[in-house]
Structure 1
C-alpha cells in the first residue's frame, strides 16, 4: 500500500502557521514513508472560496518546501458526491429533515430541561410521505441527515456505540455515537457540508492516512461510520495539537494572524517557519533544521503533546539567525544579486556578514556601509579623533590579505599604547559607524586600502 496523505484547506483566505503545521505534518509523513501528498481544496462553499486564495495557498506551501503530487478541487467533483448521496438514501441512512434553525434550537432547550442531551431527536424519521409532501408544498426544502449507527433496531432507542481507533498521534481514541446528533450532510439549498465530500474524496483518492488538528477528533467518529456506510475501510487517523498565539488566542485565516504570507514578507526563512511549526509542542527540542530531509529525521508524530502549544514569533527570529549564520553562499547567491550584491566580493562579503544578520535583506545595510561608508559618524572625543588620525597613518600598503587587520592593529597598539576596547572601538566606529557588526578582519580586505583611507576622520 502506498502511503497517501492530503492537505485540504478551504480557500477562503491565506493559510497561517497553524494550517502550515498540518500541511507539514502530512508532507513529512509522506516523505518518511515514500508516499504521495495530495493538495485538495475543500471549496464547496462557492461564495467564500476564491481561486486567488487557492493560488496563494499553493504559493505558500511551495515556499515552505512542499510540492504536491496532485492538486484537486472539490468544486469539480460534485457528480461523485451526488452519487454517494443517492447510495446513502437507497441504504436508508440519509433522511430528509424540515426543521428551521429556530425549531431546532427550541427542541434542544426542551431536551435540556428534561435532562436529556441536546442532540437531534430524529423527529423527521416519524414524518409520513403525506406530511413531507405538505411541508414541501409550504415551500420548505429538506436538509439531509446521516443516520448514525447508534441503535440496534429502533432509531429512537439509542445506545452507547463506541467508535475506537488507534490514533497515529494521540494513541487510542473513542467517540460514543450516541452522544452525537445525526450530522447534516446536505443543506436545504443542495450544497454539501464538509463531511460527505471529504469522505467521498478520501475514498476515491486512496487516502491512507488523515493527519489534521485535534479539533476534528469528534468528527472522526462520524466519518468512520460514514466510510463504513459507503462500503470503504477507514484510513488511519492522526490528530495533532493546535497552535495558539502567545496570548492563547486561536488562529484564523480570516484575521490573517501569523499568516505564512506575512512571515515571508518579514524576511523569515521557510525552514525557520517549518522547524518551529513542526517541533513546537513536541518532545523534540526546537532548533533550526537546514532542510526538509533533516526535519523529517526529527519528525515523530507520537511525540506531539495533547495540549495546545503557543507559537511565539520571537522564536522565529532566533531560528532565522541560526539558519543564516550557517547558510552557504550558493544558497543565497540569487537573493543577494537581487539586492545589488553581485560583484567579485559577494561571496567573501556574505561569509563576513552572515553571522550578524537577522534576515537576508539586512545584508543590504552592510553592503551599503561597505560601498558608501557609514550613514552617520558618531561624535567622537577629541582624543579618539587624534588617535584615529595616527592610526590611519599606520595603515599597511597593499597588497592586502587576511592578516591585514592583525598587522595594522598590532602597529597601532605599539605606536599608541592603546589596547582592548580603547583600541578597537574607535576604529570600528570610523569604519562602519556602528558599535557592533561583522569582524573587521573580514571586512577590511573587502574595503581595500583606498576604501579604508576614505573613512579617515
Structure 2
C-alpha cells in the first residue's frame, strides 16, 4: 500500500480557529492511523494579510493540541520558483496563455453575459491569440470545457461537474503572483500528498484542481470533504458561537485533551463511544466514520468533556496547569505541594480551570467575608458550639478528617443542633459561602492555623 501523506495548510491571515483545528486533527489522525506522514504548510501568498503573529499563534495552537508535524512548516512564499517553473511548463505546452483583458473589460463581459442569461465566466477572448508576456498580463489555464469532471469523494461519494461551467481561470495574477487553486495543486503534487481532507466549502474548487493535475501530468490525491460546523442556532459557525482563536480555550481553562475529544466528535463517530484517549483515536480513526451532515457546535458538550478530563488528570499534573490561573487571581503565592493537596477537593465540581481557581479562593485568601447566604447561619445561638469546636481544634496536634468529624458530631449533639445548622456555620466561617467541598476534608487541607484563625474571626463578630 502507498504510504499515506496528509497535510494541513493554514493561511496566516488569522488565528487557528475551531474549524481549522478540526481539519488539522482529522489529517493528523488519518496519518497517524496509517503510520504515515503529516505535513504542515503555511499558505502565506497573501502578502498584505499574512502576519508573523498569526504564524506563531497557529504553531502554538497546534503544539497545545498535541498535533506534532513530521515535515515543515513549509512556506509558500519560499516556493515561488517552483510555481514559476510549473506555470512556464503549462505555457510551453500550450495549456495556459497570457491574457491582456483589463478588469474593466472583464466586468463589462460579465454584465453582458448575465443580461443574456449566459455563463458569466471568462469568454476566452485571448485563448488562441498566442500573446507574449507583458506587464499587467495574467496567465490563464486552458480548462477543458467538454464533458464532465468526476470527483470521487471519500465522504460524499461521486460528485459530477459539467465542464461547460468551468472557464479559463487565472493561475498567475497581473503582479506575477500565483493563485490559490494553482499553488495548492503544485504543493500537494510535489509533496506527494496522498489524501486531502478539508472542509466541503472547497468542493467547488476541486474540478479546477483535478483538471490541473491532469494537465501537469500528476496523479491527483484522494479527496475527503468534511461537512462544515454549524453554531447551536444552525447558522454557519462564527465568532459569536465560540472563541475565534483555539488558544482562547486554553485561556478559558480548557484542557487540550478535552478540546481534541470534542473536536473529533464534531462529525466523526465510533458507535456510541464519547470519550477517547489519543491512542484510541489513532487506532479507531477512519474517514468512513465521518458523517455527511454538518456538525453542530455544542458549548455544553465541550464543558462536559473538560469536566471529565479535569477529573481524570493526575493531581500533580493538574496542579502545575492550575498554577497560572491561581496567580492570575492574585492569590498569595504558595507551594506546589499545597496546590496538589487542594486538587482532589476541587476536581469533582469544576468544569474549567478558571472555575477551579475561583472555587479555591478560601484555601489561599487571608481575609474571608461570608456572603449574604452564609451570614444567615452565623447567628448568636451558634456561638457556644462554635467556641467549643474552636477549643477542640486548638487542642489537636494536627487536623485529621475522621477526628474532626467525631468532635463535630459530639458538639452538635451536646447543643442539640441539626447537622445543617452546625456544618453551615463552620463552612461560612471557613469559606464565606454555603457550598464547598466536604467540610472535614477542607479543614484537614487548610490546616490548623488557618482554621483556628477564621473561626476566631467569626466568633469576634458574633
Match of 1:267 in 2: 253
Q: 2:306 aligns with which of 316, 320, 336?
A: 320
Range 259-268 or range 307-316, more displaced: 307-316
Of residues 111, 120, 137, the one that matches 1:142 is 137
- Residues 51-100 of structure 1: CA deviation (Å, up to 9, x unaligned): 22212211111011111111101111111111111111122211222222
Residue 401 (structure 2) pairs with residue 415 (structure 1): no
Distance change (3 Å), C-alpha of 1:431 and 1:351: same
Partners in 2 of 1:315 and 1:12 — Cα distance? 29
Indicate conservation of the 8 Å contact 1:185/1:193, yes or no: yes
Residue of structure 2 in register with 1:86 after alignment: 88
**2:150 paired with 1:163:** yes
Equivalent-residue separation in structure 2 for 1:73 and 1:252 (angstroms): 27
Q: Per the alignment, in what secondary structure is the counterpart of residue 126 of structure 2?
A: helix
What is the Cα deviation at residue 336 of structure 1? 4.3
Q: TM-score, normalised by structure 1?
A: 0.87
Does 2:169 align with 1:183? yes
Counterpart in 2 of 1:172? 158
Given the alignment of the two structures, is residue 117 of structure 1 paired with residue 119 of structure 2, yes or no? Answer: yes
Aligned to 2:127, the other structure's residue is in SS state helix
1:75 — aligned with what? 77
1:16–1:251 contact (8 Å) kept in structure 2: no
Three-state SS of the structure 2 residue aligned to 1:123 is coil
Q: Please, what is the CA RMSD of the aligned residues?
A: 2.8
Distance 1:149 1:337 in 2: 61
Distance 1:256 1:411, change over 3 A: closer
Give ranges in structure 1 of 5+ residues lacking alignment: 152-159
Quote how far apart the aligned CAs of 1:260 are: 1.1
C-alpha separation in 1, matches of 2:296 and 2:103: 36
**What are the superposed Cα offsets for residues 265-300 of structure 1, whole Å, 9 maximum, x if unpaired?**
2222222222222212444668454x4324435644
| CA displacement at 1:390 relative to structure 2 | 4.3
Equivalent in the alignment of 1:345: 338
* Residues 99, 138 of structure 2: 8 Å contact kept: yes
Contact 1:7 1:38 in 2 (8 A): yes
Partners in 1 of 2:285 and 2:423 — Cα distance?
46
Q: Is the 8 A contact 1:288 1:323 kept in 2?
A: no
Change in Cα spacing, 1:375 to 1:258, as seen in structure 2 (3 Å) is farther
The alpha-carbon distance between structure 1 residues 82 and 17, as it changes in their structure 2 partners (threshold 3 A), is same
How far 1:206 sits from its partner (Å)?
1.1
Cα deviation code 1:308-357 (max 9, x no counterpart): 33324343333222211221123224334554453543333212222232
In 2, are the aligned partners of 1:170 and 1:302 still within 8 Å (CA)?
no
Residues 384 and 286 of structure 1, relative CA distance in 2, 3 Å threshold:
farther
5+ unaligned residues in a row in structure 2: which ranges? 328-332
2 CA distance for matches of 1:181 and 1:421? 78
Secondary structure at the counterpart of residue 155 of structure 2 = coil
Is residue 146–residue 184 contact of structure 1 (8 Å, CA) maintained in 2? Answer: yes
Q: What secondary structure does 1:124 align onto? A: coil
Structure 1 residues 84 and 398: alpha-carbon distance in aligned structure 2, compared to 1, 3 A threshold: same
Q: CA deviation at 1:389?
A: 3.1
1:106 is aligned to: 108
Counterpart residue number, 1:360: 353
The answer for the alignment partner of 1:42 in structure 2 is 43
Q: What is the distance in 1 between the residues matched to 2:286 and 2:414? A: 61
Distance (Å, rounded) in 1 between the aligned partners of 2:139 and 2:360: 65
State the TM-score, normalized to the length of structure 2.
Answer: 0.86
Distance 1:440 1:300 in 2: 48
Matches within 5 A, 1:300-339: 300-338=286-324, 339=327
* Equivalent-residue separation in structure 1 for 2:359 and 2:427 (angstroms): 13
* 2:330 paired residue number: none
CA–CA distance in structure 1, aligned partners of residues 243 and 195 of structure 2: 28
> In the TM superposition, what is the alpha-carbon distance from 1:182 to its structure 2 partner?
2.4
Query: C-alpha distance in 2, partners of 1:310/1:145?
Result: 39
Mapped to 2, the partners of 1:349 and 1:210 lie a distance apart of 47
User: 1:404 touches 1:445 (CA, 8 Å); kept in 2?
Assistant: no
Instruction: Report if aligned partners of 1:356, 1:437 keep a CA contact under 8 Å in 2.
Output: no
**Which residue of structure 2 lines up, in the alignment, with residue 18 of structure 1?**
19
Which stretch of the first structure deviates more once superposed, 218-227 or 365-374? 365-374
Which shows bigger deviation, 292-301 or 168-177?
292-301
Cα distance, 1:228 vs. partner?
Answer: 1.6
What is the aligned partner in structure 2 of residue 398 from structure 1?
397
Partner Cα separation in structure 2 for residue 319 and residue 194 of structure 1 = 37
Residue 3 (structure 2) aligns with:
2
Asked whether the 8 Å contact 1:162–1:175 carries over to 2, the reply is yes
Distance, in Å, in 1 between the alignment partners of 2:112 and 2:98 is 22
